[in-house]
């Protein structure tokens, strides 16, 4: 993970920072920017990189540990888990929550599903062509 | 932990603090927020015994006594060193004056803030003076640091360097209280907020809890309190 990718996170000020940090790591894992067994920064390093409170960084890591995303053995730095089942569930989880948000905001407009799917197809494929790397996150 | 209990301060006929109580834990950054004149600086000066007050201040559960001031550093809102001194002179003055001066950390901080020890105080820009001011306080070995308005009147780049202090090991395991009336850049850096209004603590809360339980930003809560 490069410094740029991490410090490029822009936070929502109304959502707990630790949850946003966990989501950021999941996105990095799902898109292959960090892989199974990779070392992750210490909590101080993470706080400095993301410009967040060190106790919040600590809380994010605790949450990730509880979800089995990272593992810590003894005094060595924490690493991304090698558990394939957990890793593959991350992508599914991210997709599902993104789709949930989308559906939540489109439902009020009451558009027929066929029409919606067509719009999504056109938009999604044309945006992909514009930014083959998946786009700048900033 | 610093515990302020029922602090009362009267200037003439004006009750500036009317029973202020809050806590600030070690290893956490507590932000004392209030609009101008809310009494933020008065709280810090009272804790330091720089001005008389009623009420009590406990440090790690013991009533504050003069001996304990080695455990607390107060960084005022502006530099108080004579303008003809060089930065190096300021550092050796501090070394002579304070037993808990950490020269090694002072050197680290010089690099961290990109200051040159040859520069004279009179030649420093506002931002550089603010950084030197912080350096002099941060280089003291102590458990608690009180900073009065560390961001006021400072350019964007110095501001960024100063915010880096809050995520660095420079404050590791220390308890920090900062006062500010403007929170935009530091919402994600602080642990806890104490909102002062009309000489009292209107709200005291952990930032992550307000985000998680109320879905509000710190600025949202400030608007609610100060628009009343």
Question: For B44, what's the count of Cα atoms within 13 Å in the CB-facing half-sphere?
Answer: 26
Share of chain B above pLDDT 90, in %: 80
Give residue limits of the domains in chain B: 2-226
pLDDT of B200: 94
A-B CB pairs within 8 A amount to 55
Tokens of A40: 């992750």
Separation CA B6–CA B2 (nearest Å): 13
The answer to whether the Cβ–Cβ distance between A17 and B211 falls below 8 Å is yes
Integer Cα distance of B19 and B8 in angstroms: 5
> Nearest C-alpha of chain B: how many angstroms from A58?
12
Q: Please list the residues that pair with B11 across neighbouring strands.
A: B14
Contact A14 B191 (CB under 8 A): no
- A7 — contact with chain B (CB < 8 Å)? no
Segment B111-120 shows an average pLDDT of 95
Containing B73, the helix (H) or strand (E) segment is strand B72-75
Nearest to A56 among B208, B216, B220 (CB): B208
DSSP character string of B50-69: SS--EEEEEETTEE--GGGG
Residues of A in contact with B190 (CB under 8 A): 53
In this predicted model, what pLDDT tens digit does every residue of A23-64 receive, in sequence order?
A: 999 999 999 999 999 999 999 999 999 999 999 999 999 999
As a dihedral over the C-alpha atoms of residue A100, residue A102, residue A103, residue A104, rounded to 10 degrees, the angle is: 80
- CA–CA dist B197, B226 (Å, integer): 8
Domains, chain A, in order of start with CATH, read 3-130 (1.10.10.10)
What pLDDT does residue A4 have? Answer: 43
**Which of B173, B205, B211, B217 has the highest number of chain A CBs within 10 A, making it the mutation to test binding with A?**
B211
Q: Do A19 and B218 touch (CB under 8 A)?
A: no
Q: What pLDDT does A7 receive? A: 53
What mean pLDDT do residues B46-64 have?
94
3 state DSSP class of A134: coil
Question: May I ask the CATH architecture of the domain B2-226?
Answer: 3-Layer(aba) Sandwich (3.40)
Q: Report yes or no: B104 at the A interface, CB cutoff 8 Å.
A: no
CA distances from B189 to A91, B58, B174 (A): 30, 25, 14
Pairwise CA distance, residues A39 & A76, whole Å: 10
**Cβ contact (<8 Å) for B167 and A19?**
no
Q: How many CA within 13 A on the CB side of residue B21? A: 5
Q: How confident is the model at residue A5 (pLDDT cuts 50, 70, 90)?
A: very low
Residue B166 burial by Cβ neighbours in a 10 Å radius (0-12, 13-18, 19+): buried
Instruction: Give DSSP secondary structure letters for B95-164.
Output: HHH-TTB-HHHHHHHHHHTT--TTSBGGG--HHHHHHHHHHHHHTB--SEEEEE-TTTT--HHHHHHHHH
Q: Distance between CA B81 and CA B104 in Å, rounded? A: 21
pLDDT tens-digit profile of A58-107?
Answer: 999 999 999 999 998 888 889 999 999 999 999 899 999 999 999 999 99
SS3 content of chain B, % helix, strand, coil (to 5): 40, 30, 35
- Find the range with the poorest average confidence among A125-129, B1-5, B77-81: A125-129
User: Tokens in use for A10?
Assistant: 């822009």
The ipTM, to two decimals, is 0.89
């Amino acid at each position: 993970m490069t410094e740029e990718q991490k410090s490029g996170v822009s936070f929502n000020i109304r959502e707990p920072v630790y949850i946003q940090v966990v989501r950021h790591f999941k996105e990095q894992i799902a898109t292959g920017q960090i892989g199974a067994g990779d070392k992750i920064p210490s909590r101080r390093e993470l706080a400095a990189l993301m410009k967040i409170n060190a106790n919040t960084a600590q809380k994010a890591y605790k949450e990730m540990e509880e979800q089995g995303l990272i593992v810590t053995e003894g005094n060595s730095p924490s690493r991304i888990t090698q558990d394939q089942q957990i890793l593959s569930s991350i992508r599914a989880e991210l997709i599902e929550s993104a789709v949930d948000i989308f559906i939540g905001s489109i439902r009020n407009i009451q558009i027929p599903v066929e029409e919606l799917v067509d719009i999504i197809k056109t938009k999604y494929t044309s945006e992909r062509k514009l930014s083959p790397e998946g786009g700048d996150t900033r | 932990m610093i515990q302020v209990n029922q602090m009362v301060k009267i200037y003439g006929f004006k009750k500036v603090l009317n029973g202020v109580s809050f806590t600030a834990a070690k290893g956490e950054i507590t932000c004392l927020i209030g609009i101008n004149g809310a009494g933020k600086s008065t709280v810090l000066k009272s804790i330091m015994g720089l001005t008389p007050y009623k009420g009590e201040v406990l440090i790690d559960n013991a009533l504050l006594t003069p001996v304990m001031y080695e455990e607390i550093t107060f960084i005022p809102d502006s530099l108080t060193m004579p303008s003809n001194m060089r930065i190096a002179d300021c550092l050796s003055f501090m070394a002579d004056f304070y037993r808990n001066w950490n020269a090694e950390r002072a050197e680290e901080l010089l690099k961290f803030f990109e200051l040159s020890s040859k520069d004279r105080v009179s030649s420093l820009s506002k931002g550089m003076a603010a950084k030197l001011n912080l350096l002099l306080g941060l280089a003291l070995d102590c458990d608690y640091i009180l900073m009065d308005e560390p961001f006021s009147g400072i350019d964007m780049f110095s501001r960024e360097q100063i915010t880096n202090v809050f995520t660095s090991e420079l404050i590791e395991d220390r308890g920090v209280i900062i006062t500010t009336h403007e929170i935009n850049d530091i919402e994600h850096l602080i642990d806890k907020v104490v909102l002062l209004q009309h000489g009292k603590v209107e709200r005291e809360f952990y930032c992550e809890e307000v985000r998680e339980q109320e879905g509000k930003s710190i600025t949202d809560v400030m608007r609610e309190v100060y628009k009343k």
